[in-house]
């Protein structure tokens, strides 16, 4: 048995150190010992500051209360693993006496020039294989690269806030089209109701085959959180959204191939000098096969 199989065996019995080590190996690019995994994940995304981490903390409370385990992969675009912001996130998320039922892991995207696509799915599969029931991927949904990350999840929850700015950001990034369910957090604030209405009317303009529901929650008071967790259990996706997710995943794979190409440097140099065209550059990299 090799090292990662060893770790998997221990992780299956609930050994968290082994689980962490195994995830680190996979993050570093080693092959996962889980083949043909069937892990399923929920992506939670939304602009910075809308309360994603706070809400996940409250959702964790509900799951833990029901005796269900939760693993969170918190994707942070820039911070190193020990960053203060992440620690804050972690503190907010582990507010319950959740101990054995909760596992939180941060992933810094800056360690992955080609994106997280090579490790995200294997990590979800490993967590699932080790018995983690609810697997969450938290990403900051404020740009194209974050959409790429959240598209690896099987279901997507968009968290928005009462500020018009938040909502516009989510619309701009195209995240609303990917969401299977939308929540407006901070329902304790006066503008939340209006924000929910604005989102609903923005959605009704689209001609999708199923429009996502819009719920109001407050991570501070806990209002609506139990409903949200219940609704997530039965939420269905649409073929349109599935197609969009698959499309984003393909683009991720494409980007990763490009950025990991052994010909990248020489191609960039040639482009800089003007000795090849962009089309020739693309052809050159594709030749690699
Ligand atoms: N009023 C109010 N503030 C909230 C609520 N949820 C989160 N916040 C605050 O919003 C800020 C950002 O929260 P955080 O969970 O870090 O947001 P994230 O960046 O989306 O993960 C913090 O100051 C929270 O205390 C809520 O339901 N109501
Ligand atoms: Mg957060």
- Total number of domains constituting the chain: 2
Q: Which of 83, 63, 78, 205 is nearest to 134 (CA)?
A: 63
Per the domain annotation, does 136 fall within a domain? yes
Q: Is residue 178 a part of any domain in this protein?
A: yes
| Residue minimizing CA distance to atom 17 of ligand 1 | 51
27 and 108 share one domain:
no
The predicted structure's pLDDT at residue 289: 57
Residue 233 vs residues 134, 172, 196, 206: alpha-carbon distances, Å: 10, 28, 22, 25
Decide: 86 in ligand 1 pocket, CB within 6 A.
no
Would 204 be classed as within a structural domain?
yes
Residues 117 and 5 in one domain: no
Ligand 1 center to 254 CA (angstroms): 35
Please state the pTM of the whole predicted model. 0.88
In a domain, 89, yes or no: yes
The token pair that represents 265 in the structure block: 């440097």
Last residue of a domain, one of 222, 238, 254: 238
CB 186 near ligand 1, within 6 Å: yes
Q: Please check whether residues 5 and 118 belong to one and the same domain.
A: no
Instruction: Judge if 208 and 157 occupy the same domain.
Output: yes
**Structural domain contains residue 246:** no
Could you list the residue range(s) of the whole structural domain that residue 4 is in? 1-33
- How far is Cα 167 from Cα 188, in angstroms, rounded to an integer? 17
Q: Is the CB of 88 under 6 A from ligand 1?
A: no
Q: Domain for residue 271, yes or no? A: no
Q: 58 CB under 6 A from ligand 1?
A: no
Same domain, 219 and 156: yes
* CB of 34 sitting under 6 A from ligand 1: no
Which residue's CA is the nearest one to ligand 1's atom 3? Answer: 186
**Same domain membership, residue 147 and residue 23:** no
Note the pLDDT of residue 286: 87
In a domain, 100, yes or no: yes
Instruction: Kindly report the CATH number assigned to the domain that includes residue 155.
Output: 3.40.50.300
For residues 23 and 73, membership in a common domain is answered with no
**Are 215 and 149 in the same domain?**
yes
Q: For the stretch 128-160, what's the b/e string if a residue is b when 16 or more beta carbons lie within 10 angstroms of its beta carbon? A: bbbebebbbbbbbbbeebbbbbbbbbbbbbbbb
* 25 and 158 assigned to the same domain: no
Residues 228 and 93 in one domain: yes
Do residues 150 and 228 share a domain?
A: yes
Identify the pLDDT of residue 142. 65
pLDDT of residue 47: 87
The reply to whether 262 falls in a domain is: no
Alpha carbon nearest to ligand 1 atom 13, residue? 51
In sequence order, what DSSP letters do the residues of the chain get, joined into one string?
A: --HHHHHHHHHHTT-HHHHHHHHHHHHTTPPPS--S-----EEEEESTTSSHHHHHHHHHHHHHHTT--EEEEEEESS--TT-HHHHHHHHHHT-SS-GGGEEEEEEEGGG-TT-SHHHHHHHHHHHHHTT-SEEEEEEE-SSHHHHHHHTTSSEEEEEE-SSHHHHHHHHHTT-GGG-SEEEE--TTSTTHHHHHHHHHHHHHHS--SSPPEEEE--TTT-TTHHHHHHHHHH----HHHHHHHHHHHHHHHHHHHHHT-TTHHHHHHHHHHTSS-HHHHHHHHHHT-
Q: Is the CB of 54 under 6 A from ligand 1?
A: yes
Confidence at residue 96, expressed as pLDDT on a 0 to 100 scale: 46
Judge if 94 and 198 occupy the same domain: yes
Q: Is the CB of 53 under 6 A from ligand 1?
A: yes
Q: How far, in Å, is the centroid of ligand 2 from the Cα of 4? A: 30
Q: What is the pLDDT of residue 82?
A: 43
Nearest-atom number in ligand 1 for the CA of 48 is 19
List per-block mean pLDDT (blocks of 10 residues) for the chain, which spans 289 residues. Answer: 90 94 91 87 91 92 93 75 49 58 84 73 94 92 74 92 79 83 95 91 70 94 97 91 91 86 93 95 84
């Amino acid at each position: 048995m090799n090292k990662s199989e060893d770790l998997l065996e221990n992780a299956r019995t609930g050994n968290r150190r082994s689980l962490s080590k195994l995830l680190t190996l996979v993050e570093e690019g080693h092959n996962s010992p889980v083949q043909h995994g069937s892990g399923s994940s929920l992506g939670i995304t939304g602009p910075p500051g809308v309360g994603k981490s706070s809400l996940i903390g409250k959702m964790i409370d509900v799951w833990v209360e029901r005796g269900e385990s939760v693993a969170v992969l918190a994707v942070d675009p820039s911070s190193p693993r020990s960053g203060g912001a992440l620690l804050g996130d972690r503190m907010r998320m582990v507010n319950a006496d959740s101990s054995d039922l909760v596992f939180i892991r941060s992933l810094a995207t800056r360690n992955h020039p080609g994106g997280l696509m090579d490790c995200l799915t294997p990590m979800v599969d490993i967590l699932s294989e080790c018995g983690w029931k609810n697997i969450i991927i938290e990403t900051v949904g404020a740009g194209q690269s974050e959409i790429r990350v959240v598209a690896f999840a099987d279901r997507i929850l968009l968290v928005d806030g009462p500020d018009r700015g938040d909502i516009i950001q989510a619309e701009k990034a195209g995240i609303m089209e990917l969401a299977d369910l939308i929540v407006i957090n901070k329902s304790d604030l006066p503008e939340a109701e209006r924000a929910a209405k604005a989102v609903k009317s923005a959605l009704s303009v689209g001609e999708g085959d199923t429009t996502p529901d819009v719920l109001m929650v407050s991570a501070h008071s806990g209002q609506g959180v139990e409903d949200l967790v219940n609704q997530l259990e039965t939420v269905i996706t649409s073929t349109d959204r599935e197609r969009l997710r698959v499309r984003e995943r393909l683009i991720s794979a494409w980007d990763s191939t490009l950025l990991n190409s052994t010909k990248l440097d020489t191609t960039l140099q040639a482009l800089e000098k003007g000795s090849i065209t962009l089309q020739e550059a693309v052809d050159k990299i594709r030749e690699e096969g």
